[in-house]
């Protein structure tokens, strides 16, 4: 009786690695899209209730720093557990709530709704451009990331200072620099996923979301300053 050997094609290590990278990237995109829902809800609650507008600039800054960094720490701590996604969505709701202060100011303008949509469209354009570049660029961006991180720290310090100084020129400068720096970080974080350096889609989503939030907020601030109609 003839014995016939049956061969089974096993995935090569390279194929398995590529599949894992695609899975993390796909989950990152899905979770990023999902995170927009609590952001919009938080912004709507904030604008409708005027909750954040009642706070003084100093108190608002303390609430933002404590809430944002506290939730980011919690997300990172629980990123490998079932609590990771709910915590991330809670963070995006909180960020939407904090965004309501700027949204309320812009929406009070005659063309406020148009400015919000324009800022959203501009942010989407930045995201798709950076996502496309992340697939095309082959070089390692970690060296530039360290330099850009210094820029983020300086932006944070300047933003905190401007809460008390209230300088229009400083606000514009911070907004312009923030768009450039956080656009780079969108590119950097997506490329880390595609290179296999970042393997946790919750961490990847958190990084990209923070960058998108800052790009949108900066665009909205600039449009509110230069494009608003009373």
* Distance, CA of 215 to CA of 91 (rounded, Å): 17
Residue 13 predicted with pLDDT over 60: no
Cβ neighbors of 73 (< 8 A, separation 6 or more) are none
pLDDT (tens digit per residue) in 122-144 = 999 999 999 999 888 888 777 78
For residue 174, what pLDDT is reported?
A: 92
For residue 146, what pLDDT is reported?
A: 82
For residue 147, what pLDDT is reported?
A: 84
Residue 136, φ and ψ in degrees, nearest 5: -90, -35
For residue 229, what pLDDT is reported?
A: 66
Question: Do the beta carbons of residue 25 and residue 17 sit within 8 Å?
Answer: no
Average pLDDT over the chain reads 88
pLDDT (tens digit per residue) in 140-187 = 777 787 888 888 899 989 988 888 888 888 899 999 999 999 999 999
For residue 1, what pLDDT is reported?
A: 45
pLDDT (tens digit per residue) in 37-46 = 999 999 999 9
pLDDT (tens digit per residue) in 210-226 = 999 999 999 999 998 88
Q: pLDDT grade, residue 16 (50/70/90)?
A: confident
For residue 176, what pLDDT is reported?
A: 94
* Distance, CA of 133 to CA of 131 (rounded, Å): 5
Considering only CA atoms, which of 95, 52, 119 is closest in space to residue 210?
95
């Amino acid at each position: 009786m003839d014995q016939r050997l049956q061969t089974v094609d096993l995935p090569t290590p390279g194929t398995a690695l590529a599949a894992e990278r695609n899975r993390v990237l796909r989950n990152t995109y899905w979770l990023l899209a999902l995170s927009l829902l609590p952001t919009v809800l938080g912004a709507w609650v904030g604008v409708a209730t005027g909750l954040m507008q009642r706070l003084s600039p100093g108190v608002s800054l303390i609430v933002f720093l404590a809430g944002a960094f506290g939730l980011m720490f919690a997300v990172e701590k629980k990123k490998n557990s079932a609590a990771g996604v709910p915590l991330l969505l809670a963070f995006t709701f909180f960020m939407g709530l904090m965004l309501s202060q700027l949204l309320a100011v812009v929406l009070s303008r005659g063309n406020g709704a148009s400015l919000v949509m324009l800022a959203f469209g501009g942010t989407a354009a930045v995201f798709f451009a950076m996502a496309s570049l992340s697939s095309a660029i082959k070089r390692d961006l970690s060296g530039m990331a360290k330099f850009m991180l210094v820029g983020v720290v300086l932006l944070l310090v300047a933003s905190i200072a401007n809460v008390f100084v209230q300088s229009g020129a400083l606000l514009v400068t911070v907004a312009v620099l923030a768009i450039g720096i956080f656009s780079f970080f969108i590119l950097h974080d997506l490329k880390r996923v595609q290179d296999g350096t970042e393997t946790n889609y919750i961490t990847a989503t958190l990084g990209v979301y923070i960058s998108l939030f800052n790009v949108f907020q900066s665009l909205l601030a600039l449009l509110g300053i230069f494009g608003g109609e009373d």
